Amino acid sequence: MRVRAITLRILQQFIHDKRTMALMFIAPLLVLSLMSLVFNGNAYEPKIGVSGGAIPFTSALEAQNAKVVPYKSADLGKADLQESELDALVTLNGTSPEVILEGSNPTANRAVMMAVSAAIQNFHPANAGQGQMKPQISYLYGAEDMKTIDRFGPIMIGVFIFFFVFLIAGVSFLRERTTGTLERLLSTPLKRWEIVLGYVCGFGIFTVFQALLISWFSIQVLGIMMAGSFGYVLLLTLLLSMSALTLGTLLSAYAANELQMIQFIPLIIVPQIFLSGLFPLDTLPLWLQRVGLATPIYYGSEALTNIMIRGKGWNAIDLDVYALIGFSLLFMLLNVLALRKHRKM
Amino acid sequence: MNQVNPVIAVTHVHRAFGSREVLKDITLQVEQAETFGILGPSGSGKTTLVKLLTGIDEVTSGEVKVLGTLVPKLSLLQQIGYMAQSDALYTELSAKENLEFFASLYGLKGGNRVRRIADVMEIVNLQEHLRKRVDQYSGGMKRRLSLAIALLHEPPLLILDEPTVGIDPVLRQSIWKELRALNGKGTTIVLTTHVMDEAEKCDRLAMIRDGQLLAVDSPKGLLQSAGVASMEDAFLYYGGARR
């Protein structure tokens, strides 16, 4: 009987908390659909540039499902390779092809290598096995021995920082509301924007240390590949924290308790991880790629990958930096407006 | 403050949340340096009414004027000491840190801040527990600390929502003595209560039930015109008379 009473009570609580119920049913579906889109997408089509001398090679590559872009000269191709527009550039050097891999993505590297070696065999079947056509391979970024962690490292740094700051800031702002201290604050001459800015500064100081520690640990202790400037890594992790902090405090306005705050994880965090560039985005439907453009982690991990793997500087990350600052400012503004729910002036 | 103008003037105030009317046509005035009690059972609209007085919440129709200014007005909040029904303290901080935080929000600085913190903690008799973390406080101690915070910036108007809930009778008496002393210095006090005998200590009393104002008068006046001996009977009389 008592077990029945507890069972019944739990069912009643679920029925009253429609949001939790919806989440139990809908969130797994959402995450699973995303997964199937990400992992079930078409096989990765490498984008290979082919410069002047190697043009005859084109059709053989295309037969291997590679996307081939012809270039008039090797230099033009190299420029695009540096911008990461291409996965690899093939030039004909004497009789054997020279392959320069973009290198930052092991998946793309493998796809290129498979396409190139198959194309060579088909192009000169007579020479197969004689070793004359063995391609010369070099890496623009990264290296042959780049491990998966090197590829995922920059993205995971961004993801974890975002995740923890989002939750902690969100729950702490939520507590202000549930314990009544928010109402107490709003009964003082404090302005709404002062609360929001105070939160950003207070947590901001903490996130500086967090960014320092996490970046240092990943690079020095875990030995994740680091080709660029440590200062930029710090800047990016910090900006990512800021966007997580401001989004967390904003969304806490729409959570009634800590549990409902945690429910934002499958809705806000998980989709961002899938769309962050951890998995090749090119295989996703276009609309889903566009959704990715509206998430802070996307910009954070793009910039971190550019710094840590490609060793790039300010010119490569400036847009990402502006995007993250823009997100933070937008979330702060929306939070000031959301606080109107509690006090209009 | 001009003696002619009331400290609080509430005129034909309605407050509805959606279709639910929480306050219906409330009109009342609070004079300077009096203790004005709002008496009513829980759910009668007391808390909504005091929130309208501070400007945290806004009227659906009618108007509220505090110290001659139309509410809501941000600068007015500097003139009001508000104690909410929930204790609204940062329990992971010490009492001192809580007091310092709220003192800063009201712009108290330096020596003045230190002096005021010592003063208010003495009023609520918590001076020995200043450095204790609030999560080690008992319910009554938290209530007193909450009151201390409302007194910090020496506001001319105090709005206290159920200030003496959970406080033992001896201490309750000493808090009333302090409130009286504040009245003597010209501070106006508005407080809500559902305790009938406590209501008798107010200078004037508003009886409220189901969002309607039943009567406003001095406790003595209310008893006399109802022709009853206890506040409880008076409440029943006015409540019944309206029906």
Nearest CB partner across the interface for B88, out of A184, A189, A344: A184
Please tell me the predicted confidence (pLDDT) of residue A128. 46
Is it the case that residue B73 has pLDDT exceeding 80? yes
* Predicted pLDDT at B243: 44
Are residues A186 and B56, on separate chains, in Cβ contact within 8 Å?
Answer: yes
Pick the closest to residue A144 from A91, A112, A106 (CA basis): A106
pTM over 0.80: yes
Q: Which residues of B touch A179 (CB under 8 A)?
A: 86, 88-89, 91
pLDDT at B242: 46
**Residues B191, B198: contact at Cβ < 8 Å?**
no
Is A180–B74 a contact, with Cβ atoms under 8 angstroms apart? Answer: no
**Contact call for A187 and B78, based on CB within 8 A:** no
Q: Which of A185, A187, A192 to mutate to test the interface with B (most CBs of B within 10 A)?
A: A187
Yes or no, beta carbons of A179 and B73 under 8 Å apart: no
Q: What is the pLDDT of residue A30?
A: 81
Residues of B in contact with A345 (CB under 8 A): 55, 72-74
Q: Which pLDDT belongs to residue A94?
A: 67
Q: What pLDDT does residue B67 have?
A: 93
Q: What is the pLDDT at residue B133?
A: 93
Pairing mode of beta strands B35-39, B204-209: parallel
Written as tens digits, the pLDDT of chain A (345 aa) is 788 888 888 888 888 888 878 877 787 788 777 777 777 666 778 888 888 766 677 778 888 888 888 888 888 888 888 888 888 888 876 667 788 888 888 778 888 888 888 887 777 655 545 555 677 888 888 777 777 777 788 888 888 889 888 988 899 899 999 988 999 999 999 999 999 999 899 888 888 888 888 888 888 888 888 888 899 999 999 999 999 999 999 999 889 888 889 889 888 898 898 888 877 777 778 888 888 889 999 999 989 988 988 888 899 899 999 999 999 999 999 999 999 988 888
Q: Which of B197, B192, B139 is nearest to B161 (CA)?
A: B192
What residues of chain A lie within 8 A of the CB of B80, using their CB?
187
Q: What is the DSSP string of chain B?
A: --SSS-SEEEEEEEEEETTEEEEEEEEEEE-TT-EEEEE--TTSSHHHHHHHHHTSS--SEEEEEETTEESP-GGGGGGEEEE-SS----TTSBHHHHHHHHHHHTT--HHHHHHHHHHHHHHTT-GGGTTSBGGGS-HHHHHHHHHHHHHTT--SEEEEESTTTT--HHHHHHHHHHHHHHHHTT-EEEEEE--HHHHTTSSEEEEEETTEEEEEE-HHHHHHHHT-SSHHHHHHHHHHHH-
Pairing relation of β-strands A88-93 and A136-139? unpaired
d(CA B187, CA B7): 10
**Closest partner CB to A344 (pick from B54, B72, B78):** B72
Indicate the range of A56-60, B59-63, B150-154, B204-208 predicted with least confidence.
A56-60
- Mean pLDDT for B232-240 is 85
Chain B residue nearest residue A191, CA to CA? B74
For chain A, domains (ranges, CATH) are: 47-139 (3.40.190), 148-342 (no CATH)
Show which residues on chain B lie within 8 Å of chain A, measured between beta carbons: 54-56, 58, 72-75, 77-78, 80, 82, 84-91, 102, 105-107, 149
Distance from CA of A345 to the nearest CA of B (A): 7
Report yes or no: A88 and A123 within 8 Å, Cβ to Cβ.
Answer: no
What does A182-196 look like in DSSP terms, one character per residue?
HHHHHTTT--HHHHH
Residue B175 CB-half CA count within 13 A: 28
What is the percent of chain B where pLDDT is above 70? Answer: 97
Between CA A98 and CA A20 the distance in angstroms is: 57
Q: Which two tokens stand for residue A236?
A: 């990016």
Chain A partners of B56 at a C-beta cutoff of 8 Å?
A: 183, 186-187, 342-343
Shortest alpha-carbon distance between residue A140 and chain B (Å) = 53
**Nearest-angstrom CA–CA distance, B225 and B203:** 16
pLDDT of residue B216: 93
**B88:A191 CB<8 A:** no
3-state class of A208 per DSSP?
Answer: helix
Nearest CA in chain A to B87: A180
* Distance, CA of B165 to chain centre: 12
Give the integer Cα–Cα distance in Å for A50 and A134: 17
Q: Which ipTM did the prediction report?
A: 0.87
Residue B4 pLDDT level (bands cut at 50, 70, 90): low
Distances (CA, A) of A132 to A16, A17, A125, B110: 73, 70, 12, 84
Say what the pLDDT of residue A132 is.
54
- Both tokens of B135, joined, read 């999560």
Query: Cα-atom radius of gyration of chain B, to the nearest Å?
Result: 18
Three-state secondary-structure class, residue A69? strand
Q: What are phi and psi of B9, to 5 degrees?
A: -125, 110
Nearest to A101 by CA among A87, A111, A85: A87
| Inter-chain CB proximity B72 and A345 less than 8 Å | yes
Q: How far is A19 from chain B (nearest CA, A)?
A: 22
Look at residues A343, A163, A338, A340 and name the one whose alpha carbon lies nearest to residue A255: A338
- Residues β-bridged to residue B217: B205
The pLDDT tens digits for B11-60 are 999 999 999 999 999 999 999 999 999 998 888 999 999 999 999 999 99
Give the A-side interface with B, CB within 8 Å. Answer: 179-181, 183-191, 342-345
User: What tokens were used for A72?
Assistant: 């008039």
